[in-house]
Amino acid sequence: MTTSLFMRIRDCFPADMNKTLLETPDGVRFSYRDANEWSSRYAAALYAAGARKGDRVAVQVDKSPSALFLYLGCIRAGLVYLPLNTAYQAQELAYFLEDASPVVIVCQPERKAEMDEIARVTVAATVFSLGADGQGTIKDAASRDGTDFAPVPCADDDLAAILYTSGTTGKPKGAMMTQMNLWSNGRTLVDLWGFTSGDTLLHALPIFHTHGLFIACHCVMISGASMIFLPKFDREQVIAALPRATVMMGVPTFYVRLLAGKDFDAALVSNMRLFISGSAPLLPETFANFHARTGHYLLERYGMTEIGMATSNPLDGDRIIHTVGPALPDVEVRVCDDQGQVLAQGEVGVLEVRGPNVFAGYWKMPEKTREEFRKDGFFITGDIALIDDKGYVHIVGRAKDLVISGGFNIYPKEIETEIDKMAGVLESAVIGVPHPDFGEAVVAIVVLQGESTLTGEEIINYIKTLMANFKVPKQVFFVDELPRNAMGKVQKNVLRDQFSTVF
């Protein structure tokens, strides 16, 4: 045991350590040497605060270069990184801290007093601060330390991170990611997506989530590339940075927003070689408009917190809309029924995944872990899918989205797809709401395009011509936009609350 995730990543750093790892929108550059040295200082500061191999470090801070170096410091010291969305409030934080019992907590400076108080009643931890500008008490502590902190060796199945998944029901679960989960996935994606040291990634994703932290940053560091590191998705900043970038990773909302202005065109992205989309379904309209405007086919891939990336459309070869591509080279996928029986090719069932990318289980939830794994090691994703004759996976819906109306099972995605195809519709979300007669009733929440005068009755009548009555929305509501979380996912729980009393 002489290696670790950190050591493997650092071994991939370029020979010229002065090379830029990341650049901020105001032009400040940080080199690979900075990443190496600051990770050492942060590792030493965490060690001085009492954190030892396997201990958790909870981090709820704004995105910044220092936040990335803090992550590297954690894995350098063999600690378990636990990123938290800055949107979480006191009650949610108390749950995470009690559950994960971190030894160190790093928070936004403006919330330090609040975090001290939460920590006081939940967990014996040292609380540090780190601001968006990179300043804070952990930076002060780290500044006093040296740049030669010896990386702590770790076994492949030692934990590197715990990521809490939002989950539509029940308590958030901490997905335990091992050293090998993160390393193998990053390594595979670098090859699959053709990353080289010549690439510059436009990074506008949050780094409290697997997409922005592991997928994006690991691909860059493992290939010795550079990134333009934006604090968040800001359309103007993205437009300004695109001419210098070669790759962008984003959620579908990013691409919809880029397409919303005429300044996003083929000339602007002439330096780009690849746009990757994931974390939420890509609308066919976005895929088509994107190609028409830029000449690029968006590369859609599929993953989730527990499994990192599992499938991807190809770099070379057909990128097919409505599919998330075949399994990654070292990943196996299959579609099963509720009992775990493998279904025939083309049949719709639950997607299961096995491979070095699949997490080690849910933190302190052995029961839940057992429920979500098959005996042969496949993880039951909860996504409803089919695999076509080319081996491409189609995500058809989410098991937890399932609406049961009058005893019939209804997958909203099927209805959404048809509504979305109607002229005048931008997008839609279909949900089940309590109904005195049916238990749940199907309703559609629709966003119309600009001047469209489409009515709810027209939508209902059209869907009636296509599918069984029990699937036809009982009512249609119009909204200006669908509520989305930071990862671009439609927040159906928000819609379900909002429309819970319509019957």
Kindly list the residues in this chain that would bind ligand AMP in the complex (CB under 6 A): 165, 210, 278-281, 300, 302-305, 324, 381, 383, 395, 398, 487
Q: Quickly count: other Cβ atoms within 10 Å of residue 480's Cβ.
A: 6
| Tokens at 18, concatenated | 């002065």
- Which amino acid is present at 450? G
CB of 161 vs ligand AMP, minimal distance in Å: 13
* Cβ nearer to ligand AMP, comparing 36 with 289: 289
String of DSSP letters for 244-259: G-SEEEE-HHHHHHHH
What's the CA gap between 467 and 426, in Å, rounded? 21
What's the CA gap between 498 and 179, in Å, rounded? 41
CB of 382 vs ligand AMP, minimal distance in Å: 6
Ramachandran area for residue 361 (φ above 0: left; ψ -120 to 50: alpha; else beta): left
* Cβ nearer to ligand AMP, comparing 184 with 210: 210
CB of 324 vs ligand AMP, minimal distance in Å: 5
66 with 231: CB under 8 angstroms? no
* Cβ nearer to ligand AMP, comparing 40 with 428: 428
Hunting for tokens 């008490």 — which residue is that?
137
Whose CA is closest to 232, among 31, 32, 488?
488
| Tokens at 495, concatenated | 């819609």
CB of 411 vs ligand AMP, minimal distance in Å: 12
CB of 490 vs ligand AMP, minimal distance in Å: 11
297 with 280: CB under 8 angstroms? no
* Cβ nearer to ligand AMP, comparing 162 with 487: 487
* Cβ nearer to ligand AMP, comparing 304 with 443: 304
CB of 304 vs ligand AMP, minimal distance in Å: 3
CB of 311 vs ligand AMP, minimal distance in Å: 8
What's the CA gap between 213 and 85, in Å, rounded? 12
* Cβ nearer to ligand AMP, comparing 249 with 459: 249
Q: What angle do CA 40, 43, 44 make, to 5 degrees?
A: 85
* Cβ nearer to ligand AMP, comparing 142 with 282: 282
